[in-house]
A = this chain, B = another copy of it.
């Protein structure tokens, strides 16, 4: 048997990736933001008291990169920079209302059509897809797995941490 599901899954996954990547670039063009700017904006919006280093860490960008992107978001009036009181080395980043509107008013087209189609699937299939994607996320997310082995028995091998 030794069925070869893995490469097929990877290939299909690449198609998904490509589609979303292209969509995010189109979205960027539509909003005037670049994909990276959008990514950073979303990441700031998603957390309380975001700091540049936290964003850099979450997105795996260097701090220098975050600085330039935040610079631009600030120029656009989407984000506010404010020194932290606790630690005056830090900046607290917050999303201004203009930024909120940009996020809300510019739905990702791929995401939109995806959702429109997805909700038409039978419930069981929706649930199945969700379960599968969450499983995928676990299988791929190396960061969190190092912190806490989420997977079931005997799944983790950890051959050479490099």
Chain A residues proximal to chain B, CB less than 8 Å: 1, 3, 5-10, 12-13, 15-20, 22-23, 25, 59-60, 109-111, 113-121, 123, 125-137, 139-143, 151, 154-157, 159, 162
The answer for the CA separation of A161 and B16 in the assembled complex, in Å, is 21
Q: Are A113 and B142 in contact (CB under 8 A)?
A: yes
CA–CA, A58 to B155, complex, Å? 36
Please, how many angstroms separate the alpha-carbon atoms of A145 and B130 in the complex?
A: 22
A152 and B158 CA atoms in complex are apart in Å by: 41
* B134–A12 CB distance below 8 A: yes
Interface pair B110/A142, CB less than 8 Å apart: yes
Contact of A25 among B3, B60, B120 (CB under 8 A): B60
Kindly report which residue of chain B lies nearest to residue A10, judged by CB atoms: B111
Cβ B5 vs Cβ A126 within 8 A: yes
A132-B140 CB under 8 A given contacts A115-B6, A123-B3, A162-B109: no
